[in-house]
Amino acid sequence: MSLLEAEGITRVYGPGCERCRERTGDDAGTNQCPACGSVVACADVELSLAPGEVLGVVGESGSGKSSLASVLALAADGTEGVVDGELRYAGYDGYDGNLLAADYQTRHALRTAHIALVHQHIRDGLDMGFSGGGNVAETLLRAGWRSYEDVRERVRSLFEATEVPVARMDDPVATYSGGMQRRVQLARALATDPGVLVLDEPTTGLDASVQARVLDTVRRLQRERELSAVVVSHDLGVVRLLADRTLVMRHGRVIESGLTDRILEDPHHEYTQTLINSIV
Amino acid sequence: MTADTDTDADTNSTPGARAARDAGADGDGDGDPPLLAVEGLTKRFRMHALDGREVLGLEEVSFSVPPGGFLAVVGSSGSGKSTLLKCVYRTYAPTAGSVRYRSPEGTVDLASCPDRTVLSHRGADLGYASQFLDEIPRVPAVDVVARPLRAAGTPAEAARERAAALLDRLQVPESLWDAYPATFSGGERQRVNLARAVAPRPRLLLLDEPTSALDPGTRAAAVDLLEEYLDGGTTVVGVFHDPEVIEALADRVLVLDGGTVERELPVGAFDAGVLE
């Protein structure tokens, strides 16, 4: 049984042509179509996520991981590029068709309460003009929360769960440390108890000790709340700690997938072997 | 699960396993159907950094273990012992062959079943202990051991108590129970690892040299634990080097050489001198 299922997920930046797919990918050694110049950020990606499962997606910069993450989180709206494929989610009674073909309202409802994205770039995920608490409250208000007291209480408990000092709740989020800003993003993503969490490079750019603490928090939340999550990272250590199964991406394609320990100890694809051998 | 399933509910309660062992059950499947039946297991590694050269791990390895049996795997370094365990646990994807395991939900081929099926057994009835603790960072020793019990549904307090009792039995000093194993000595880590693996009494337990870093005293404690705590309900396949441990625990011995089975024999017929 799957909670989230994706098939043929493709995202192309540029005009696109008939030859885009055959002339890009791992065999072609590029994600840019030599015929029309379009960038095939990801193509033909198939995946499924079971309830309570954590799926890792690894690959180097430009492999298409973040493009895939934003498609899965329905966050590709209003951006450049053409998105194609089938995405189904079993946790929402209101709609069981292809989410990529759903109307704006449905997608908005899913984004608000069911599929949450923790952005790679903090500025994409937080409003730096707001307080930390305000950033989390904003998600709750969008989801229809109205009582001031309920919202305050919920924000407080989310700050506690993600280990952000509650005393800093009303300070501008711009004054928080990098690690705290990640945690506020997590709090914000968890605000409506989403069915699926998409984490895009959850620890990139943090000091090692701060990274470790953020990862510990994610692991604890995963255990306590039985979160279903897709974790995108260039860091195999992050995936080793968090993911049960892992996909390896290169040039916009999934080149290998399997149990995370199998990928790490018995990598099959030439690129995966290079990636494993590159661990410092 | 699928048509590949023949459910058998009663194999988890075989109090007679040790008796059967003592009576000379030979594990070739003429009594109970085997709990683990490995056939034609082959593993080759293709190394792309070496121009695609293939390295042989295992070739056509076949054996079976009855419910409650204890199979010791021996052989020189590089003979394929760890590779065999990792193929059964699916940390390595076998190149060919089958690994038929009679799980509580029915028989599955661990060599070819879906990843998620493997995961569902790993968390529950299929255990594995590597030679050195592959610890999750920043988790206290007692919680490392309690975790599989929690996953199996034991309440938090009871799980911690049982974990503490296991650490105590393995002579891990109480002062270390709340510390992170990353700072422990090799022998201490190995005992935490063993305690974690045996804690939930898995139906099938794979052990990769679980006593290699222990001194005689703690090794005896480990042997006691494996003997008593895991009564007939757990079937064990373990890589061992120490003749005394093998004699105390195993009922059969599988000798590997160059990735193939050199021979398989009852422990009584095994000349432990070859290990020296």
**CB proximity A226 to B under 8 Å:** no
Percent of chain B clearing pLDDT 70 (strictly above):
86
A13 domain residue, yes or no: no
A248 domain residue, yes or no: yes
Asked whether the predicted pLDDT for residue A269 surpasses 90, the reply is yes
Confidence of residue B10 (pLDDT cuts 50, 70, 90): very low
Give the CATH number of the domain where residue A134 resides: 3.40.50.300
Q: What is the mean pLDDT of chain A?
A: 92
Confidence of residue B231 (pLDDT cuts 50, 70, 90): confident
| pTM of the predicted protein model | 0.89
Asked whether the predicted pLDDT for residue B22 surpasses 50, the reply is no
The shortest C-alpha distance from B135 to chain A (Å) reads 10
The shortest C-alpha distance from B107 to chain A (Å) reads 20
Q: Is A70 exposed, middle or buried (0-12, 13-18, 19+ CB in 10 A)?
A: buried
Asked if A203 and A160 touch (Cβ cutoff 8 Å), the reply is no
Confidence of residue B230 (pLDDT cuts 50, 70, 90): confident
- Average pLDDT of the residues in A183-212: 91
Asked whether the predicted pLDDT for residue A78 surpasses 80, the reply is no
Q: In this complex, do B119 and A266 lie within 8 Å of one another by their Cβ atoms?
A: no
B255 domain residue, yes or no: yes
**CB proximity A261 to B under 8 Å:** yes
Confidence of residue B81 (pLDDT cuts 50, 70, 90): very high
In what order do the strands lie in the sheet containing B204-208? Answer: B126-129, B204-208, B235-239, B70-74, B252-257, B260-266
pLDDT at B88: 98
Long-range contacts of A174-181 (CB under 8 A, 24+ apart): A174/A128, A174/A129, A176/A132, A177/A210, A178/A122, A178/A205, A178/A206, A178/A210, A179/A206, A179/A207, A179/A210, A179/A213, A179/A214, A180/A132, A181/A122, A181/A126
Confidence of residue B204 (pLDDT cuts 50, 70, 90): very high
Asked whether the predicted pLDDT for residue B23 surpasses 60, the reply is no
Closest residue of chain A to B135, computed from CA coordinates = A241
Give how many domains chain B has, as a whole number.
1
A199 domain residue, yes or no: yes
Closest CA to A115 of A133, A135, A93, A92: A92
Chain B CB contacts of A247 under 8 Å are none
- A167 vs B14 pLDDT, higher one: A167
A30 domain residue, yes or no: no
Asked whether the predicted pLDDT for residue A216 surpasses 80, the reply is yes
**CB proximity A36 to B under 8 Å:** no
A185 domain residue, yes or no: yes
DSSP conformation letters of A101-136: GS-HHHHHHHHHHTEEEE-SSHHHHS-TTSBHHHHH
Alpha carbons A110 and A154: distance in angstroms, whole number: 20
- A199 vs B19 pLDDT, higher one: A199
Give how many domains chain A has, as a whole number.
1
pLDDT at A280: 65
Q: In this complex, do A258 and B93 lie within 8 Å of one another by their Cβ atoms?
A: yes
Domain of B259 in residue numbering reads as 1-125+232-267
Give the CATH number of the domain where residue B259 resides: 3.40.50.300
pLDDT at A168: 96
- A280 vs B250 pLDDT, higher one: B250
Domain of A113 in residue numbering reads as 49-77+102-277
B203 domain residue, yes or no: no
- Average pLDDT of the residues in B131-135: 71
Query: Per-residue pLDDT tens for B52-73?
Result: 899 999 999 999 999 999 999 9
Query: Per-residue pLDDT tens for B247-264?
Result: 999 999 999 999 999 999
Asked whether the predicted pLDDT for residue B131 surpasses 80, the reply is no
Across the A:B interface, residue pairs with CB atoms under 8 Å apart total 42
For testing contact with chain A, the best of B116, B132, B206 (most A CBs within 10 A): B116
Q: Is B17 exposed, middle or buried (0-12, 13-18, 19+ CB in 10 A)?
A: buried
